[in-house]
A and B are shown apart, each in its own frame.
Chain A
Amino acid sequence: MTVTHLERRGSTPLERLQLLLHRRPTISPLVVLIVASAVFGLASDRFLQPSNLSLILQQVAVIALLAVGQTIIVLTAGIDLSVGAMMILVALVMGAFGGPLGWNGIVVVLLGLMLGGLAGGLNAFLVVRIRLPPFIATLGTLNIFVALALILSGGRSTPGTDLDPFLTWTATAFAIGDFRLTMGVVLVLLVYLVVGFALSQTAWGRHIYATGDDEPAAHLTGIRTRRVLTSAYVLAGVICGLAAWALIGRVGAATPNSAVDANLDSITAVVIGGTSLFGGRGRLAGTLLGALIVGVFRNGLALMRVDVIYQTLAIGVLILLAVSLDQWIRKGRSAS
């Protein structure tokens, strides 16, 4: 059997790089993360200390979780502006049931996951049945979920001390060597492993990619694209429920005032992680790297006593660079 590679168009170093980045989309965020960590490590003695690295992990946990749901949606060529709102809605409902109403914590968490799935189901209904563009559909539900959260909670926070211990279990810390991790961080890694496996090793994952790549073509191939899209939005909702649980642990309360930027931060992590907003391209591992990059930049610049405004500026530049890189990679490979 002669399996020879076809002659690749282009053999300049730049074109080879383009091809490599196309085949291995996690390389560029990995390089950015390593370089950034090295630079911040040189700039500040504290940056690379285990305590600081542990802190970064805890800081990015919630966004990293939301970004898992966001990645699934973006892979289907959609976008979910409502992930942060879903999380806050679930967090407040969990706070109400687990606090004043005194429900059992495990039941409340399960309830929260169901509520997240239900909220995701509403997005799925609007996108798949009513055929609204995902941007519009989730812009609408973003406002609805935030309003619902405030109506249901009356805008009140429930402090962690009033909550069933299981709801703040995600804040439980333990040490591995000099590193201090929380159960929330473990939860994040578990979700990445499970969803990453599903995306890369199962037919469902292939169908997510195929649907995002070219929905009409995927439909003609026999893929039930509406079902695939529905599963994506519902799963994203459930993951937002998990993020709500992590958020309560992280903040130490169920409060409507936390994580206001979570929506955009989740999209930032996805984009910097190399997933294409045009759908069908990207890796979940890239999203984890993207979330870490944002965390490393914010933390590193803060240690260098750079004003928070400049941190935001740096993130903005990163986003534009990441998307430009994606465009360049795509341009090089789709021509034939």
Chain B
Amino acid sequence: MTLQTDPTTMASAAASGASTPAGGRAPLIEARGIAKAYGAVVALDGVDLDLYPGEVLALIGDNGAGKSTFIKCLTGAVIPDTGTIKVDGQEVRIRRPQDARDAGIETVYQQLSLSPALDIATNLFLGREIRRPGFRGSVLRMLDVPAMRREAREKVQDLGITTLQDITQAVETLSGGQRQAVAVARAVAFGSKAVILDEPTAALGVRESRHVMDMVTQLRARGLGVILISHDMQNVFEHADRIQIMRLGRRAGVVSPRTHTMQQTIAVMTGAATLDADGRVVPSDEAPSGATS
């Protein structure tokens, strides 16, 4: 499988610290000043983020940099103390996961949000079940199980997931990779604007990882925005159009794989260097906090 790179995206990624894609398109998701504190511990200290349609934005940072908390603020799993989120220019209040879904944002969490005892089709449609037409659906509120199974099968096939074959199988009977595939399939199938993936390949083998990343590429080609959280720098540099670096609950900067090296990026991530206003990497006075793998 060759790497698809959309030539229109990022053709001339700006080298500035707040680099934005060319074309002057409006951001899909625009988060401003997201802050979250747990008691005295400040997890997020006013984080901004811009996600444009048709791009893969990687979100990287050391453990405890606030990546997961931040995306949870975008998906309604955590309610930020302050900050605003705009989707398509409209300010939205995301107070619970369903709000994010309603706004067209789907998420694959690191601790997969699947119900083990329920089957694949049920999991795909959990929270957006299809009811039977007519009286049985409207009055008796009866589920249309055949329709959900049929659609689930179609969606799984459209995505080219070959590891999920029996759609009526309980999720707990699946392997880790297959479960991941279910979670990714759900996000990809229903995400209409943006898909957020938190360490989507962490539990996967080489072949399965490649498959997930192929799906990410497809999403980008469809014009969706993708936020990819990953520790795998190789993966990030291969697939991301822009990379937002998080450090100590703040946005340390945004770089592009085309203008910055992996070493520079890691240096910013660990605090060994900082980005100046023009996006240049300058060694910081702060002592480097150790190498990352």
Contacts and interface: CB of A to CB of B under 8 A. Distances in A.
Interface in A1-53: 1-6, 22
Contacts of B157: 1
A316 to B, nearest CB: 28
Interface of A: 1-6, 22, 197, 201-204, 206-207, 209-210, 213-214, 216-224, 280-281, 333-334, 336
B127 interface: yes
Contact of B101 (A206, A210, A222, A281): A222
A275 to B, nearest CB: 12
Given A5-B165, A6-B169, A206-B126, A222 B141 contact: no
Nearest to A8: B173
Contacts of A5: 165-166, 169
Nearest to A202: B141
Contacts, number: 102
Contacts of B172: 333-334, 336
Q: How large is the interface on B (under 10, 10 to 19, 20 to 34, 35 or more residues)?
A: 35 or more
B175 A221 contact: no
A213 B116 contact: yes
B107 A201 contact: no
- Give the interface SS of chain B, mostly helix, strand, loop or mixed: loop
Interface string B129-163: 10100000000111100000000010001000000
Contacts of B122: 206
A274 to B, nearest CB: 13
Contacts of A207: 126-127
B115 to A, nearest CB: 4
Contacts of A217: 111-115
A206 B143 contact: yes
Interface in B212-241: none
A281 B119 CA distance: 12
B96 interface: yes
A336 to B, nearest CB: 5
A218 B75 CA distance: 14
B271 to A, nearest CB: 31
Contact of B127 (A22, A209, A222, A336): A222
A330 B12 CA distance: 55
A276 to B, nearest CB: 9
Nearest to B128: A222
Contact of A280 (B109, B117, B175): B117
B169 A218 contact: no
Given A204-B141, A213-B116, A333 B173 contact: yes
Nearest to B173: A333
B77 interface: yes
Given A218-B126, A220-B109, A209 B115 contact: yes
Contact of A1 (B126, B140, B153): B153
- The listed residue with most B CB atoms (<10 A of its CB), out of A1, A22, A216, A336, is A336
Most chain A beta-carbon neighbours within 10 Å: one of B113, B117, B172: B117
Nearest to B114: A217
A219 B141 contact: no
B97 A221 contact: yes
Given A206-B118, A209-B117, A3 B101 contact: no
A221 B170 contact: no
